[in-house]
Amino acid sequence: MSGKVSDDQPRVGFNGAGALSHVYIQHPPLTCSISGARGLFYDDGNKLLIAPVLNEVFSWKTSPFTSFHDAPSSDTLGEGPVLSIRYSLDGKVIAVQRSNHEIEFRNRETGECFSQRCTSESEGILGFFWTDCPSCDLVLIKTSGLDLFSYEAELKKLRLVEAKWFNVSWYVYTHESRMVLLSTGMQCKSFSALQFSSGGVIRLPRFEMTMTKAEANNKPVLDADDVHIVTIYGRIYCLQVDRVGMLIYLYRFYRDAVVQQGSFPMYSTKIAVSVVDNVLLVHQVDAKVVILYDLFANSRAPISAPLPLLSRSLPRVAASSSQICSPQALHMEVTEVSVDEGKIYGDGWTFLVPDLICDVTHGMLWRIHLDLEAIAASNSEVPSVLEFLQRRRLESKKGKQLCLVIMRTIILERRPVSMVAQAFDVLVSSFAHSMKSGNICTDRSISSGSERAPTSDIQDAGISGTAANEAISRVKMHGKSIGKESTSVVDNEALNLDMASLINNSSSLFSDSDEPSAHMDEFQSGNQHNLTAKEGGENQTSTETSATDMLPTPLQSEVLGASGNALDSNTSGPQGSQVACVAISPDEMFSFVFALVEDEMAGDPAYLCAIIVEYLRSATSEKLRIPPNLYVMTVQLLARNERYAELALFIINKILEPSKEVAFQLLESGRQNFLIRKLGLDMLRQLSLHHDYVLILVQDGYYLEALRYARKNKVATVRPSLFLEAALSSNDSQHLAAVLRFFSDFIPGFKNTADHSMYCRILNERS
């Protein structure tokens, strides 16, 4: 029974057993092999993949991520060794670490160079990064501590702003988190952490990581590869691999504390970590499987069983008009590419923050994708699946489709009402949340909802034979919204992907400001506050902003800064706003769930009714505006099954909120039951739809009452002849005379009309 409706939808779990995986990389990859390249470098500040060749440097933009790329851009570079290389955040300067003591700076436009050397021979440069911290531009990590410099372009030199003294064995930094972890000590397990946020430099208290002792005298040393900084839902975490204990510890950074928050098992000596759409991926490299965790909830249980990472290719033919009406589009012609098994988790694989994989040996770059369908299919706990999907931002469109399909499926399968109610709660609260955070996607759907004539909508659906037809006709009705999508998504999955990565790009850069809904709850509120304060021009420190959480506040400056603007234009387009919303509005809930299941559920009206009540309960608790269509449908449902007592209660208690549509449906359904018809009439009156009220009264033969009402409420739009005809047909000449008199007295010029003379004659004949 579910088949009919969901044919045009992605089937949950269509991924057969052969293609079992929850994450995949997509073929073809971005190719980044240049002959003679001396290694590949990743500049996470600018999301560039950089390959220096002799006296040139090539760079590929990894965001937006597309595999069909133009040629890389290139810059000239002086000869010499390259230990590391990073572009300044405004893209004007290239900084190259030439040796342990020297960093070279080169202006890309003018080609001017200068070098910065260590003053003392005893200290060596471990690395450097550009920062958008207000006090400095560049941070140099040396064995003796940190040097904070500001870059003076005119003077062609760095000016030391501040030096912080630490003993540093090694360090870890991600631009995403703006956090640098400095490792010290014999075992390298004690850490100093600093965040170079746009609000200033925040220094966290020192903390130790947990290391299991192997034997009494053998103390393991923590390696830089074993520590990963990850940013999830805007929170900053650190994952630390304890090789002896075979555990991965999770730490969360708060403003004033670093708290260990549980651990994950490891099944491989080599561990890699990625974050895709706020889902934590722990690659068990030796075992060639990946385990997914959603750290939003408190549970540290994996989302699903460990499964391999898959390599897929999408044939470009995936021509599809609209994701909603075309079957092919979402059946995602997934052909598993026979990438030889050895290639996956090959030796040359490097995992880049947050979600890229670079095969250094072959010069290939992939982005990791979540297979939402597979994840949804592997979990039978419907509410939690929906919660998971609602938190996804990258493929929000697919997430939304999946949610709708799941909803329909559980209704059609007649799962317990309590469970469906829970599912509604999840979707409704998610939508309410995105409403509150000012997500734009709702305006569109509401306006499209109001464009439709609700009654005809439902009747259309009732008539159309097959569900497929119906879906199409519905899509037509939604014309604007979906039509737009279908053209913009263009027949090409690749482009679609392009867009997704575009969004992704913006989401990772803007993660706090542009898409506040991406990070929920406590993070959210603090952040918004932060942003508005920022706009007010205050240069405030995050001390004020984040009470509890350590926020990656520096990101915001990018939004306001130049680089932010460039990306901003990408997201503000119509596609951007449409795709960005995974939450399901009441209109969509009606059109894509209730309207579609209605036909199938005709045999079990009680169940459908219970489901609708649960949805109303859920939506009302969040004060959502419910489309009148749903009410109209409920009226039809109850009336068709002659449950008039309940219908009356629904109307009287305003469970079905009064509207013109509902009133007319009541009048229509009331042909079988005068009580219901009266309710419809009363509703018209309560809504002050005077014209309609008077018209219906006259139709029902209550023309005198109608006249009184018309006079009181100054309704002049109903033709006098209607009243006169009604009076005439009642065969009461007294009444007819009264009506005639009424119009003669109150309508100027009525005495000269044909009506007047005609009815006068009739009266005369009768008397």
Partner 1 sequence: MQLCIFDLRRGQHEGQELDKILFFFPADCSFSMQLSVIGLSEGLITFTRIFSPEAACEVIEAERHSHVFYQAEPDIWMVMVVEKNKESEAVWRSAAVQGVLKEVHSLFTMFHGSVRALLEKQPDGGLARSHLYSFIMDYLNDFFVGKKLQLPSFRDCLRERGTIQMLTIGREAAIEVQSLVRVLESSCSGNTPCNSLILFQDLLVSTTLSPDDTANLFTYAVLRLTPHALSYNMNSWSYLRKGTAASHATVHSSLPNPGSTSEEFQYSSRDTSPGRQGSGYQVPRPLKRDKWSKGKDGFLVTDIWGSDAGCLNCATPTVWLQQTGECVYLSIYQHKNLTIIILIPVSSFINGEQGISWVKQQLLQNASLKILKVEERLSRGWGGENAYHVSGYRYLLADNDRNTSRASPPGKVTTLAKKSLLALGKLREEVDLEKGRAKRDDPGHEKDLEVCIRANNNAWIIARSTRGKELYMVLEKANETLLYASDAVEQFSNRYCDGTFSID
**What is the distance between the alpha carbons of residues 185 and 17, in angstroms, rounded to a whole number?**
49
Closest to partner 1 by CB, 400 vs 685, is 685
Least Å from the CB of residue 612 to partner 1: 9
**What is the distance between the alpha carbons of residues 285 and 272, in angstroms, rounded to a whole number?**
7
Least Å from the CB of residue 606 to partner 1: 5
Distance, first Cα to last Cα, the chain: 68
Closest to partner 1 by CB, 244 vs 645, is 645
One-letter amino acid of 26 = Q
The interaxial angle of helices 690-699 and 720-729, nearest 10 deg, is 20
Least Å from the CB of residue 636 to partner 1: 17
Q: What is the DSSP string of 427-442?
A: HHHHHHHHHHTT-THH
Least Å from the CB of residue 610 to partner 1: 4
Q: Which residue shows structure tokens 């390696």?
A: 223
- List CB contacts of 669: < 8 A, sequence separation 6 or more: 635, 636, 639, 640, 647, 676, 680
- List CB contacts of 644: < 8 A, sequence separation 6 or more: 638, 673, 675, 676
Provide the phi-psi class of 623: left if phi over 0, else alpha when psi is between -120 and 50, else beta. left
Least Å from the CB of residue 407 to partner 1: 18
**What is the distance between the alpha carbons of residues 9 and 412, in angstroms, rounded to a whole number?**
14
Closest to partner 1 by CB, 204 vs 683, is 683
Could you list the residues that contact partner 1 (CB under 8 A)?
417-418, 421, 606-607, 609-610, 613-614, 616-617, 620-621, 643-646, 648-650, 653-655, 657, 674-675, 678, 682, 685-686, 701-702, 704-705, 708-709, 712
Least Å from the CB of residue 686 to partner 1: 5
Least Å from the CB of residue 694 to partner 1: 13
Closest C-alpha among 262, 618, 224 to residue 422: 618
Closest to partner 1 by CB, 510 vs 650, is 650
Closest to partner 1 by CB, 600 vs 646, is 646
**What is the distance between the alpha carbons of residues 225 and 6, in angstroms, rounded to a whole number?**
46
Closest to partner 1 by CB, 69 vs 678, is 678
Closest to partner 1 by CB, 120 vs 653, is 653
Closest to partner 1 by CB, 362 vs 708, is 708
Other Cβ atoms less than 10 A from the Cβ of 401: the count is 22
Least Å from the CB of residue 671 to partner 1: 14
Radius of gyration of the chain (CA): 34
C-beta of residue 92 within 8 angstroms of C-beta of residue 107: yes
Distances (CA, A) of 604 to 207, 313, 655: 61, 43, 21
Least Å from the CB of residue 347 to partner 1: 57
Least Å from the CB of residue 609 to partner 1: 7
And the tokens for 450? 């109001």
Closest to partner 1 by CB, 12 vs 695, is 695
Least Å from the CB of residue 646 to partner 1: 5
* Kind plus residue range of the DSSP H or E element containing 711: helix 703-713
Closest to partner 1 by CB, 123 vs 682, is 682
**What is the distance between the alpha carbons of residues 249 and 290, in angstroms, rounded to a whole number?**
17
And the tokens for 338? 């026979």
Helices (H), 516-604: 521-535, 542-545, 554-560, 562-572, 574-579, 586-589, 595-598
Closest to partner 1 by CB, 483 vs 605, is 605
Least Å from the CB of residue 617 to partner 1: 5
Other Cβ atoms less than 10 A from the Cβ of 1: the count is 13
Give every strand in the sheet of 56-61, ordered side by side. Answer: 41-43, 48-53, 56-61, 73-76
C-beta of residue 184 within 8 angstroms of C-beta of residue 191: yes
Least Å from the CB of residue 644 to partner 1: 8
Closest to partner 1 by CB, 75 vs 682, is 682
Write phi, then psi, for 155 (nearest 5 degrees): -80, -5
Q: How many helices, marked H, and strands, marked E, lie in the chain?
A: 28, 30
Question: Using CB atoms within 10 A of its CB, is residue 298 exposed (0-12), middle (13-18) or buried (19+)?
Answer: exposed
β partners of residue 281 = 274, 292
Least Å from the CB of residue 627 to partner 1: 16
Closest to partner 1 by CB, 7 vs 657, is 657
- List CB contacts of 748: < 8 A, sequence separation 6 or more: none
Least Å from the CB of residue 720 to partner 1: 20
Least Å from the CB of residue 674 to partner 1: 7
Closest to partner 1 by CB, 251 vs 742, is 742
Other Cβ atoms less than 10 A from the Cβ of 623: the count is 8
And the tokens for 588? 């969509």
Closest to partner 1 by CB, 536 vs 712, is 712
Q: Which long-range contacts (CB under 8 A, 24 or more apart) does 662-669 make?
A: 662/628, 662/631, 662/632, 662/635, 663/687, 663/689, 663/692, 664/455, 664/692, 665/455, 665/631, 665/632, 665/635, 665/636, 666/635, 667/696, 668/455, 669/635, 669/636, 669/639, 669/640
Closest to partner 1 by CB, 190 vs 730, is 730
And the tokens for 134? 């207000």
